[in-house]
Amino acid sequence: MSASASLTHELIQAAYFIAALLFIIGLKRMSSPKGARGGIVWAGIGMLIAGLITFLSPGMRNDILIIVAIFVGGVAAWWSGKRVPMTAMPQMVALYNGMGGGAAAAIACQELVHGRPFAPAPVVLAVAGAIIGAVSFSGSLIAFAKLQGLISRSLRYGAQQAVNSLVLLATLALGGWIVARHGAAPLSVVAAFFALALLEGILITLPIGGADMPVVISLYNACTGLAVAFEGFVLGNAAMIIAGMVVGAAGTLLTQLMARAMNRSLANVLFSNFGETAAAAGEVTGSLKPIEAPDAAVMMAYASKVIVVPGYGMAVAQAQHKIWELCQLLMDRGVTVRFAIHPVAGRMPGHMNVLLAEAGVPYDLISDLDEINAEFETADVALIIGANDVVNPAARADKSSPIYGMPILNADKAKNVIVIKRGKGAGFSGIENALFYLDNTRMLYGDAQKAGAELIQAVKALE
């Protein structure tokens, strides 16, 4: 290696190391709402450095095509980021995550279709990354379609798990054959291998109920990171290895957190019929008791403590600004206001935190389940905005309920509960909520933004 080539190599590796540090710093800052915006900037700078320095790599070709692809992808991402509403952010995350898995699979495909022999270890990693990346890609697309409403129901049929297992075994068999040939396999075999891997991702995700999509998205995020790390080993790219391992580890921990928050094992999420059978379980008796906005406003205006529990209904109505305006009015009257966030509230991890941050809610008013649960017993009012399963007391009391054992926010222990809900239907999982039928619960029907505006006017009228 010449002196200039050696210097270039050292420069590239140093840049990759700096980029990796920026990824880790960014991810660390993203763990808190206070530092999340800065974390994204740090990680973005790291990605920019890694991308630019890669152009100096020996043997780089098709620079113009790469630049055009980056430009097109960047413009599309910028446009979609500006246009996509917060309610659609979960499916956007699923789509972008799927693109990462697809990119890792495409790298493996490009390496394998050349038909040149690999060393034993790289070909194993290339095949493993191809399978994981392809499954993550097609599975994430199905998750996107479910959240977007393009697929309205889960697809289940007899012997489904057996079919999925056979497809997986066939994929692994072809992958094993490619490994045995050290990557020098016919194009038809490589094509069949990728087709089966993509099909497996579809078959795994189609039966999963919509209520489990946050866990599925998190799982595929972990898979994407793992696939990228494997392909980084194949290419000898340190930035891909480190970034993929960090994303894979973070996604794995988040998946475990989400499953634990639902008191479900990952196997139960992937292979149970929760989404389809939930509607038939957890039947409750009693009657729903409506309340009008002026009465609800009086109840909160003269309370000592109000705990607000936001859910997906707030996101759908884009009501976070109205709710925060209402809370400011209550605080001006001396009412203590807190926000309670369940780990699986909304359609993805952190969904409610992002909405509240967008409205300008101070971070010190927002608490997670473990921090806030003990305070519900001292709250005069628990205001539920479009949340359902995360406040359902059946999770504590009804052993026949599909969500039995799931940690919930103890909203039912507040002296009074006001639920803003558009209608009388069950939640996203299809389970009827026993909270709505309790004696201390009142239902304020209507769109959350409209209801918030009515509550604001009613509180102002008390001044």
pLDDT tens track for 4-62: 777 787 888 888 889 888 988 988 888 776 777 888 899 889 988 988 888 887 777 77
* Lowest-confidence pick of 290-294, 421-425, 435-439: 421-425
Same domain, 325 and 234: no
Same domain, 218 and 329: no
Domain boundary among 276, 300, 335: 276
Confidence band (pLDDT; 50, 70, 90) for 123? confident
Domain boundary among 257, 276, 295: 276
71-86 pLDDT tens trace: 998 898 888 888 887 6
Domain that holds residue 21: 3-276
Residue 89 lies in a domain: yes
Same domain, 263 and 290: no
Same domain, 96 and 130: yes
Same domain, 233 and 87: yes
Q: How many domains does the chain divide into?
A: 2
Same domain, 226 and 308: no
Residue 235 lies in a domain: yes
Confidence band (pLDDT; 50, 70, 90) for 275? very low
Same domain, 246 and 297: no
Mean pLDDT throughout 365-372?
Answer: 91
Same domain, 18 and 147: yes
Same domain, 248 and 362: no
381-435 pLDDT tens trace: 999 998 888 898 988 877 777 777 888 899 999 999 999 988 665 555 567 888 9
Q: Return the CATH number at 308.
A: 3.40.50.1220
State the pLDDT at residue 294: 94
Which of residues 246 and 454 earns the better pLDDT score?
454
Instruction: Enumerate the active-site residues.
Output: 389
Same domain, 161 and 198: yes
Which whole-number Å values give the CA distances from 180 to 108, 130, 172, in the listed order? 16, 16, 12
Residue 180 lies in a domain: yes
Same domain, 214 and 323: no
Which of residues 270 and 340 earns the better pLDDT score?
340
Domain boundary among 244, 276, 308: 276
Which of residues 136 and 281 earns the better pLDDT score?
136
Residue 281 lies in a domain: no
Residue 276 pLDDT exceeds 50? no
Residue 137 lies in a domain: yes
Residue 346 pLDDT exceeds 80? no
Same domain, 97 and 233: yes
State the pLDDT at residue 434: 87
